Amino acid sequence: MAAPMNVPRHIDELTAEWLSTVLGRPVEVMRVDRLAEDSAFAAQLFRLHLTGDSTTEDFSSTVIVKLPVGADNPARQILDGFHAYDREVAFYRDVVGRGATVRTPRARFVAHDPDSHDFVLIIEDLAPLEAADQLSGLSMAQAETIIDALAEFHCWAWENDNLDVAGAGLPRIDALDTRAHHAMFGEVFDLAWPQVAARLYDEIAPEVHELCNHFSTLIHYLAEALGTPRTIIHGELRSDNLFLPLDGSDPYLIDFQAATRACGLLDVAYLITSSVRSDVRCGNDAVLVQRYVDGIARRGITSYGFDQAWRQYRISAMFGLVYPVLASTRWEASGPRGRLLLDEMVRRSTTAISQIGAVELLP
């Protein structure tokens, strides 16, 4: 899946010769389409249309290529400091590669330069499936399907050998060296929040404004509260990182740049508070948390009850606010849909934090 060779830094460097080598068959590139420009804030995505010997086993006429954002992107320093691209490589290599119970597009090739943090990922094209529409929001039925899949995935490494073997390349959310990442997040949050608050001030409850005004002093508390029980999680699970088959089978997960070892409720809470419209979610948070608790219990994890899950769900809702706020540093550079999406994610998350009384848990 990976090879010791120079890592392309730009889509133009994925020549027919290079692709033929890494894919193991002669191909020509007929067309390159840019994807998800209004929702992929931390990477560049492309669809490559290929020609070649269609009789060759496993030939595909299209593949998806993922590259990092350029060095001139203001987010690149944050992403490199967070080891975002290193995490994605480690997830495909060690977690998916060891048979984790998570459905992902098949990786055709992965290469990584640990010094520059550049990487290239070539994966299966899931078309005609499309990523779930974050602006439209998930239905309750869709949310339930995803939570069932999360319960199965999280149980695979729940405080067992898979956690430390397959997860060795992923940081712990509460580890000492992770504190530097969170401190950086807090600093950027403090810079970004005034602009976000200015746009949405009247839509955010006073206690949530207070949380956000002091976020950098609270982020370590939130992260440490999510350190156990520990499993391997996606870390930033939202609609745009999901493909939902029409037959109701398990969703495909993509984008593992925030993959980490932490409490599984972080995946659950971030999904529900950012990807389900507030009018759909309101009154159903506890129902969905109970569904997750029941799901892991059916798979043998019976020591994790609702009370602990509910507390960590509420803490996770606060921690998860860091992602849309940090991404909002790209608000001015985003297109119309990207701006709508960033503001709606903050709006949904802050509304949920208020409605579930999350701020009550702060020291």
Alpha-carbon torsion, ordered 151, 152, 158, 161, to 10 deg? -170
Kindly list the domain boundaries of the chain, sorted by start residue: 11-124, 140-361
Q: What is the pLDDT of residue 285?
A: 99
Q: Out of 37-51, 98-112, 196-210, 213-227, pick the least confident.
A: 37-51
**Banded pLDDT at 114 (limits 50, 70, 90):** confident
Mean pLDDT of 223-228: 98
Residue type for position 319: F
Burial readout 90-101 (b: 16 or more C-beta within 10 A, e: otherwise): bbbbbbbeeebe
The highest-confidence range among 44-53, 118-127, 307-316, by mean pLDDT, is 307-316
Peptide linkage before 128 cis (omega within 30 of 0):
yes
Residue 234 CA, distance from chain mean position: 6
Count of H-run helices and E-run strands, the chain:
14, 9
What is the percent of the chain where pLDDT is above 70?
95
Q: What is the pLDDT of residue 55?
A: 55
**CB 90 within 8 Å of CB 58:** no
**CB 270 within 8 Å of CB 281:** no
Q: What element of type H or E holds 123? A: strand 119-124
**CB 63 within 8 Å of CB 49:** no
Residue type for position 133: D
CB atoms inside a 10 Å sphere around CB 335? 11
d(CA 103, CA 248): 13
SS3 for 321-343, per residue?
CHHHHHHHHHCCCCCHHHHHHHH
pLDDT tens for 276-332 read 999 999 999 999 999 999 999 999 999 999 999 999 999 999 999 999 999 898 888
Q: Euclidean distance between the first and final Cα of the chain, in Å?
A: 46
Mean pLDDT of 72-91: 87
Q: What is the pLDDT of residue 177?
A: 84
Mean pLDDT, rounded, of the chain: 93
**CB 323 within 8 Å of CB 299:** no
Handedness of CA 253, 257, 262, 266 (dihedral sign): negative
**Banded pLDDT at 52 (limits 50, 70, 90):** confident
pLDDT tens for 328-361 read 988 887 788 889 999 999 999 999 999 999 999 9
**CB 130 within 8 Å of CB 243:** yes
Higher pLDDT among residues 83 and 296, named by residue? 296
**Banded pLDDT at 57 (limits 50, 70, 90):** low
Half-sphere exposure (CA, 13 Å, Cβ side) for 75? 23
Q: Rg (Cα) of the chain, in Å, rounded? A: 20
82 Cβ partners below 8 Å, 6+ apart? 181, 184, 185, 257, 258
Mean pLDDT of 48-60: 76
Handedness of CA 150, 152, 156, 158 (dihedral sign): positive
> Would you say residue 4 has pLDDT above 60?
no
**3.90.1200, 3.40.1800, 3.40.50, 3.30.70: CATH of 140-361:** 3.90.1200
d(CA 87, CA 228): 20
Residue 204 CA, distance from chain mean position: 24
> Would you say residue 54 has pLDDT above 50?
yes
pLDDT tens for 142-198 read 999 999 999 999 999 999 999 999 999 999 999 988 999 899 999 999 999 999 999
SS3 content of the chain, % helix, strand, coil (to 5): 50, 15, 35
**CB 207 within 8 Å of CB 153:** no
Question: What pairing do the DSSP bridges indicate for beta strands 252-253 and 27-35?
Answer: unpaired
> Would you say residue 40 has pLDDT above 50?
yes
**3.20.20.70, 3.40.50.360, 3.30.200.20, 3.30.230.10: CATH of 11-124:** 3.30.200.20
DSSP label of 68: E
> Would you say residue 60 has pLDDT above 90?
no
- The tokens for 75 are 């987010």
